[in-house]
Structure 1
Amino acid sequence: MSQQTSLPFDPAGEGSAALDALLRHAPPVEAGVWDELRGADGRSRPAWERFARCVPDDAEALDRRVMQVARQLRQDGVTHNVFSDAGAAVRPWSLELLPLLIDPVDWATIEAGVLQRAALLEAVLADCYGPRRLLHDGLLPPSLLLRHPGYLRPLHGVVPAGGQRLHIVAFDIARGADGQWWLVAQRTQGPSGLGYVMHNRLTISRQFPDAFRELRVQHIASSYRRLIDALDQRAQDVAGGHAPRIVLLTPGPYSETWFEQAYLARYLGLPLVEGSDLTVRAERLFLKTVDGLEPVHGVLRRVDDAWCDPLELRPESALGVPGLLQAARAGNVVMANALGSGFLETPALQGFLPGIAQRLLGQNLLMPALPTWWCGEAAAWAGVRPDVVARTPDKLVRSTFPRSGRTSQVHDAPPEIIDADPDAWTVQGRLPFSRTPIWAAGRALPRPALLRVYAIADALGRWHVLPGGMTRVAQRADGSVSMQRGGSSLDTWVMTSGRVDEFSMLPSRLQVEDILGRRRPVTSRTAENLFWLGRYTERTEQLVRLARVVLDLIDADSDAGEPVLATLTALAVRKGLVPEGVPSLLQSPAVFERALLSAIGQPQGGGAWSVAFNLQALAQASQALRERLSAEQWSLIRRMGEDFAAALELPGSTVPDRTQAGEALERLALQLGAVTGAQTDRMTRDHGWRFLTIGRLLDRLIGVAVRFEAFLAGGALASVAGIDLLLELFDSAITFRARYQRHEDLLAVADLLVMDDTNPRAYAGVLRRLRTELRKLPGGEAGAEPLLALLPTAGAGLTPDELRGLDDAAIAARLLTLSRDLARAGERLADAIGERYFALATEDQRMQAV
């Protein structure tokens, strides 16, 4: 137990500005709870005095640091998905400035208790899926085990690959009023938070580097290395002499903790996969990649047991892999954690663990759990029934078994409901959580804190505790620490009196063989998302250009004739800038303009699929690619939509004016240029980048072909105004003027916009790049032949000699046919790429050696 300092706070002492800021406006110490900052006499604890001596900040400086932390989280795109009856919402991750400080004596107590409990849970699993001595000896009630959906009977008698069932266990602990640490809950299926733990550490340690060093805060990187090394070594036997492939299985972008899963996968160097990325063949697990099916030997999973296999578990699951249970049963994949540990999470188990620990370990439990009464035991229920009837504040009723997707829920169940099915209910004592300071509104506020610590097994089955964890705090004194209910997080600083671990995630020196095997696979789903990221980027850019051209035309004193106005109207409707049925530019330019301005910022369509709609699609595609995109690129894509929406807001009006929309579109065009630059110059040229580039080029080919076709079919190129507008849409006006000066004939337009392969928006230029990238796709030149056959064999499919001697009408006819053919070819090519690379589901797919 921590000891209070006997030294009074000296406001004139070294580092007093920070400590004075923490103490001066803090409310009095609350009776009946442990205060992490102060003792019962109001004096600061030693750890916080040491912290303050290293932080020469006053209240204003601490306020600035709070803003710096918030800005860093926004820049890194750290988010948390919140779900409610109204739907899902992505909100920024909440991280407080001040860490939770744990001294060496307290940590030694926590570590010993957690190590013991982790070993105990592994032993319980081994018994329950083996001899079941705990059931036979009456130490574990059969209904508590066999009725729990987390106990998977198909796995009874199965020893998992690698021999270890639990690889990582999370324990939620809190400090009571007497300073003792208590176990509140444990998580064994797919414990969450490790990604947030690392990001919190990187963020807060940079705010207080001197304090971090002087307090001798233990580093946490070695725990992550231990986890991945243990999985790698256990998967060696499954891989049969090949380098094991380990993946991180995620529920996907709609998971509550999607960001931290992507962040953790990137930090550990693991492919982030969803259930649809995997398939089971002949009791072995494979990853669907654009190169074919590649074997998977280990899975670090964040999908709960019940959702992992729709074939044998929940049939409605779209998150799992059909046949995964059989692959695990056959010992062909190492699962971290092994399937079937969900029953360990029930609160009812805590009442039986002391006796189980005596039987399996021959030890008393070092860390107590909350007082627990499983109502399935008649004596226990009879003992606490009066408290439930009286609704005493020191006890709460929880469900024994999972409810509404949660391991257990607090429930206001009346005694009659519990009487009807006592096995389904558990009563637990309440623990007033200790209060730790957060910095808000210019002062330190004590808030309830719950600490999650992680035990990680090494390759030999020995347990180690990550020296830190994720501390969650309530934003209000009477609030919940749950992140779903508005809680916040802290970095957790474990101080050591010994050596600070300087370990880095960088392993030992690589060999040439290691380099050859380090190419990151590109899953079919990732390739498809990148493909559409490219398409939506290009599509949005073309829409912005079209919108600006139309608005400028309405605003200008233009001599555009009827064919030009009719063409732009048809094009705007076809590309989704305005809904169908709106009066045309010829009939009512004002109404047409209002319809365009109204639709431009609507993300939900409503008859049009304008700029905001495509920005939203672009953001969704990037959200699914968090582990592949840099923080800067993802943040830029996200900010484009936010900035565009903000720029179109006008108090008292639902429709932006022309000037406002023009400025918003201009800013968006610049941001899209930055995104294009990031995609072009800041991404590794692997197959994933290639699919992104092909997606961009295909949408460009289809887009420019549709625009050229519209201008030709509408007769808009018979006028100088029509040619000028088409050149603007192709972003080629400056080049055209410099090259052809006063010539405005159709042959010059065809030369620049069709046959010039140096123009990146001309048919020939787009097709040249497409052919180059298609030949580099998996399968090489031979594999690319069916795709290349859909395109002209060279150039744009039209040469200057074919236009020799033709008048403008004949040239227009040839260009119209070519434009229609290329638009159709682009659509067919997109479908062919999807069929070949994005849907690997047939038995004749290539399998690499297992």
Structure 2
Amino acid sequence: MTSPLPPEHQPPLPYLSDTGHDEAFPVAGEVRPHWRYLLDSLGQLGADEMGQRQIKTQRILRDDGAVYNSADQPDQSKVWELDPVPLILQSDEWSQIEAGLIERAELLNLIQQDLYGERQLIRHGILPPELLFAHKGFIRASHNVRLPGEQQLIFHSADLIRTPDQGFCILTDRTQAPRGIGYSLENRTVMSRVFPSIFRDSQVHRLAVFYQSLRQTLHALAPAAVDKSNPSIVLLTPGTYSPSYFEHTYLANYLGYPLVQGRDLTVRGGRVWMKSVSGLHPVDVILRFVDDPLCDPLELRGDSQLGVAGLLEAARNGNVSIVNPIGTGLLENPALMKYLPAISEFFLGRTLQLASVNSYWGGDAADLIYILANFSQLVLKGITPLTGGSILLRELSAAHQQQWKDEILRHPKRYVAQDYLEPSSCPTLIGGTLQPRRILMRSFAVASGQSYTILPGGLARIAPSQNDFRVSQVQGSLTKDTWVLASEPEKQLTLKTPPSRSALPFTGQINLPSRVVENLFWLGRYAERAEASARLLRAALLQLNSNVRLPTESRALLLTAITRVTGTLPGFVNAQANTSLTHPDHELLSVILDKNRNGGLKNTLLAMFNCAEEVKELLSTDVQRIINTLRDELSRLKLTLSQGLGSVPEEAFDSIITNLLALAGQAHESMFRGTGWSFLEIGRRLEKASLSAELMRAMLVDCAEDSTQELALETTLLSMEALISYRRRYLAELNVADGLHLMLLDKNNPRSLLFLLEQISNQMKQLRQSTDGPGLSAEEKQLLAARTALQLSDIDELIKADDDGLIRANLEQLLSHLKAQLYEAAKLISSRYFDHSGGPKQILLNGWEQHRKRPDQTP
């Protein structure tokens, strides 16, 4: 155990490490020199202030949208976890690591070119042919597919561990997709905000050089016929339920490239195109986050929904550059580490500066004997990742170990064993105290010029508990920012375009994938649907929970209106629903809280959250904050309603409504007036008009007695936020004629149907002019017909009862006609602008489905 530190070097809270292998304190207890300034500064802040900085860290991450939303619990989210105490490396030590990582990336690049080219390593007997031809990561269709330039491996990341001799060793190589570079950037951004003065005075190596090199490299990789000063570059993501989706959106925003999914792209005429509302736009370079076998459902996994049919053919023809090239997953085979020393001598003529962990492949007879003799001291891996990750064999029972031995003997070539290396520990703020936690570091290399640029620092991951020797590599584990201290102040760098570079003329529109504008359209619709439902439920509960018992007719009118407006049929509309009308709590709770009830409040909000995730890269921090608050309010609403509806105040829905209004306000005041905003506004106003028409149908078409009629009109005006305006304008008792005029025809009322229809028509006109040119589109004709019918209507005729005195037939006919026109317009917009095709697929599948893990699962 370390000895007490001198007062001037005490950390902010007592810290004792008995690991004998600590980043900040050697065995003797003396603090390492490069840690002193940080620990002194944290000590001056004190425990309470450190706790506040930790809270601020999590708040910033949450506001940035750095959360995980699982498919089975979309209403629950987990915030990316960042420890506010960084890992620190001194400049001299980092220089050695950097040189070793550059050398390793260069060697893996040579291996990549050889295995998909001449295969000298196989022909000279340096590498067993089974490690190539029998490996699932070997993509035969990628043979001789080359990127422009000498380097074929553009990205490389390595997981490093500090060895007891204070050196570093590489545990794993990652070559398929650059996972972690976005999180590293987010961690650094947050740390510079949480500790601005400490960060500035510590002279930490900046990350901008790496990302500047990344952009330059992506531009240089554009096909020869493309203008390399302005190529079309996109980031390909698996989608919203990928554990790394936040990283994809964050990196896309930082680099300024469109974020696309597989269904946003198509291959036509041997080229890759992005589908947008204005047509097809060519794509020159794809920075992918989709694993190799999922990239092309035509030539690889036929069941993949994440890739682009024909993508490999386009790459083979040199019409698109894919980073990293499809097939680089072969280099992640841990058995390759056994042969790296010999490969290094063959290609480079020297020993590697950064060693790999000792690895033993079951396909080698001597290695198999060693594995079985030293079984409990090793870590077991598959040549392709095992389900659940690597296995620390000493943690298994004797019987379980024997099962694995039998499995290895049956299929020895499938397995690799490695020496277990105990990670070093590092001070970590846990529960208000500094505690030692085991740590691994991941750093990144990107091709730059004739060599590679290394990210100075990287992403450090921490073991979950003090006695845990395993550091998880899964998404969501606790992380640290890694600070590499510079020996002198660095020049400030930026990704901004140099002033000398001429900018292309701006046309007023930004190309967005059809999927993005479709999700913006539905984001607006779901937001309006949720607001309308919450308003009506609030108004209904106000009446149902009042001191005066509602007449049966009034009660039935309110409850059936809820069913009709939310669309949760049969609900209270059911002819056999006498019991539910008398005791409505069960049905109302279902409408509010059942996430599987189509049209219900929770179901609608979850659908809205999903649309927001799909367009996350377009949403500001303020919008992310509102979305997070709505998630919290939805969780609180469930707790509020747990005691039943009888004791629930109508204010229970206030916060949800307020935040939905804030969401609409942010879109209206802060969102760029482009194609995306147009579709968001069209969706909002279409839904608001349709729901308003349905609300008036449900409440005002029936000719009820005076008390019920007054309640119906008051509830309708209240739900449409027009009650106060009505009272100020008319200064009289409520009457249907004035109410209908205000809600149908008053152009000064932003919620009136006429106002909404005119706004939708204006947006459609602008959209048509930016895409198709003159002439009314089919959807515009539908809206014109609806607006004309509304303008030609006569209020006196609308309020007349039919011959039987039961309903206002003219009002019913008008509102039904308007709803039908709006529904047809929405269908035409969807058919015209949104892509619903699945694309070509393999007729016969190729067997990948039987041995691959979940498409978004990463080791």
The match for 1:211 among 198, 205, 224 is 198
Identify if the C-alpha distance between structure 1 residues 122 and 241 changes in structure 2 by more than 3 Å, giving closer, same or farther: closer
Indicate whether 1:316 and 2:340 are aligned. no
The 5-angstrom pairing of residues 578-617 of structure 1 reads 580=570, 591-606=582-597, 609-617=599-607
Amino acid at match of 2:691: G
The alpha-carbon deviation at position 599 of structure 1 amounts to 2.3
Amino acid at match of 2:756: V
Q: State the match for 2:648 in structure 1.
A: 660
Identify if the C-alpha distance between structure 1 residues 752 and 440 changes in structure 2 by more than 3 Å, giving closer, same or farther: same
d(CA) in 2 for partners of 1:713 and 1:720?
13
Q: State the match for 1:106 in structure 2.
A: 93
d(CA) in 2 for partners of 1:355 and 1:539?
65
Identify if the C-alpha distance between structure 1 residues 163 and 53 changes in structure 2 by more than 3 Å, giving closer, same or farther: same
The alpha-carbon deviation at position 434 of structure 1 amounts to 0.8
Amino acid at match of 1:26: Y
d(CA) in 2 for partners of 1:92 and 1:179?
33
Identify if the C-alpha distance between structure 1 residues 383 and 187 changes in structure 2 by more than 3 Å, giving closer, same or farther: same
d(CA) in 2 for partners of 1:773 and 1:20?
60
Indicate whether 1:683 and 2:666 are aligned. no
The alpha-carbon deviation at position 305 of structure 1 amounts to 0.4
The alpha-carbon deviation at position 761 of structure 1 amounts to 1.6
The 5-angstrom pairing of residues 96-495 of structure 1 reads 96-235=83-222, 237-239=224-226, 243-388=230-375, 391=376, 393=377, 395-404=378-387, 414-458=404-448, 460-479=449-468, 480-482=470-472, 484=474, 487-495=477-485
The alpha-carbon deviation at position 168 of structure 1 amounts to 1.3
The alpha-carbon deviation at position 484 of structure 1 amounts to 3.3
d(CA) in 2 for partners of 1:807 and 1:829?
27
| 1:648/1:660 contact within 8 Å kept | no
Amino acid at match of 1:253: T
Indicate whether 1:761 and 2:751 are aligned. yes
1:774-830 CA-partner distances (Å, limit 9, x unpaired): 112142553652111112358452346856788723794332211101111111111
The alpha-carbon deviation at position 316 of structure 1 amounts to 0.9
The match for 2:829 among 830, 833, 837 is 833
Amino acid at match of 2:780: L
Identify if the C-alpha distance between structure 1 residues 512 and 704 changes in structure 2 by more than 3 Å, giving closer, same or farther: farther
Identify if the C-alpha distance between structure 1 residues 87 and 186 changes in structure 2 by more than 3 Å, giving closer, same or farther: farther
The alpha-carbon deviation at position 9 of structure 1 amounts to 4.7
d(CA) in 2 for partners of 1:172 and 1:83?
29
Q: State the match for 1:848 in structure 2.
A: none
The 5-angstrom pairing of residues 779-794 of structure 1 reads 779-780=771-772, 782=774, 784-793=776-785
Structure 1's unaligned 5+ residue stretches are: 844-850
Amino acid at match of 2:126: L
The alpha-carbon deviation at position 270 of structure 1 amounts to 1.0
d(CA) in 2 for partners of 1:141 and 1:41?
47
d(CA) in 1 for partners of 2:838 and 2:357?
52
The alpha-carbon deviation at position 233 of structure 1 amounts to 2.1
d(CA) in 2 for partners of 1:302 and 1:806?
58
1:205-225 CA-partner distances (Å, limit 9, x unpaired): 223233322321100012112
Amino acid at match of 2:596: G
| 1:760/1:766 contact within 8 Å kept | yes
| 2:744/2:754 contact within 8 Å kept | yes
| 2:361/2:416 contact within 8 Å kept | yes
The alpha-carbon deviation at position 241 of structure 1 amounts to 7.1
| 2:274/2:513 contact within 8 Å kept | yes
Secondary structure of 2:341's match?
Answer: helix
d(CA) in 2 for partners of 1:43 and 1:807?
88
Identify if the C-alpha distance between structure 1 residues 581 and 440 changes in structure 2 by more than 3 Å, giving closer, same or farther: closer
Q: What TM-score results when the alignment is normalised by the length of structure 1?
A: 0.90
1:278-311 CA-partner distances (Å, limit 9, x unpaired): 1011111000111111100001110010110111
d(CA) in 2 for partners of 1:130 and 1:517?
44
Q: State the match for 2:51 in structure 1.
A: 63
The alpha-carbon deviation at position 159 of structure 1 amounts to 2.0
Indicate whether 1:729 and 2:709 are aligned. no
Q: State the match for 2:845 in structure 1.
A: none
Q: State the match for 1:544 in structure 2.
A: 534
The alpha-carbon deviation at position 234 of structure 1 amounts to 1.9
Alignment coverage as a number of residue pairs: 819
| 1:451/1:470 contact within 8 Å kept | yes
Identify if the C-alpha distance between structure 1 residues 818 and 559 changes in structure 2 by more than 3 Å, giving closer, same or farther: farther
Identify if the C-alpha distance between structure 1 residues 269 and 642 changes in structure 2 by more than 3 Å, giving closer, same or farther: same
Q: State the match for 1:817 in structure 2.
A: 813
The match for 2:658 among 670, 674, 677 is 670
1:234-269 CA-partner distances (Å, limit 9, x unpaired): 216252578311000001011111111111111111
The alpha-carbon deviation at position 619 of structure 1 amounts to 1.4
d(CA) in 2 for partners of 1:439 and 1:803?
69
The alpha-carbon deviation at position 161 of structure 1 amounts to 4.2
Q: State the match for 1:77 in structure 2.
A: 65
d(CA) in 2 for partners of 1:574 and 1:61?
53
Identify if the C-alpha distance between structure 1 residues 815 and 88 changes in structure 2 by more than 3 Å, giving closer, same or farther: closer
Identify if the C-alpha distance between structure 1 residues 753 and 177 changes in structure 2 by more than 3 Å, giving closer, same or farther: same
Q: State the match for 1:846 in structure 2.
A: none
d(CA) in 2 for partners of 1:119 and 1:352?
16
1:402-455 CA-partner distances (Å, limit 9, x unpaired): 44496x666756333222222111111111111111012332211111100001
Q: State the match for 2:684 in structure 1.
A: 696
| 1:475/1:486 contact within 8 Å kept | no
The alpha-carbon deviation at position 78 of structure 1 amounts to 1.2
Amino acid at match of 1:602: L
d(CA) in 2 for partners of 1:592 and 1:776?
50
Q: State the match for 1:847 in structure 2.
A: none
Secondary structure of 1:453's match?
Answer: strand
Amino acid at match of 2:585: R
Greater alpha carbon shift after TM alignment, 631-640 vs 101-110: 631-640
d(CA) in 1 for partners of 2:320 and 2:645?
60
The match for 1:808 among 784, 797, 800 is 800
Q: What TM-score results when the alignment is normalised by the length of structure 2?
A: 0.90
Indicate whether 1:531 and 2:495 are aligned. no
| 1:289/1:524 contact within 8 Å kept | yes
| 1:542/1:703 contact within 8 Å kept | yes
Secondary structure of 1:131's match?
Answer: coil
Secondary structure of 1:216's match?
Answer: coil
RMSD over equivalenced CA pairs, Å? 2.9
The alpha-carbon deviation at position 735 of structure 1 amounts to 2.2
Identify if the C-alpha distance between structure 1 residues 57 and 399 changes in structure 2 by more than 3 Å, giving closer, same or farther: same
| 2:703/2:801 contact within 8 Å kept | no
The alpha-carbon deviation at position 558 of structure 1 amounts to 6.1
The alpha-carbon deviation at position 497 of structure 1 amounts to 1.2
d(CA) in 2 for partners of 1:510 and 1:528?
38
d(CA) in 1 for partners of 2:221 and 2:417?
40
Greater alpha carbon shift after TM alignment, 172-181 vs 596-605: 596-605
d(CA) in 2 for partners of 1:517 and 1:167?
33
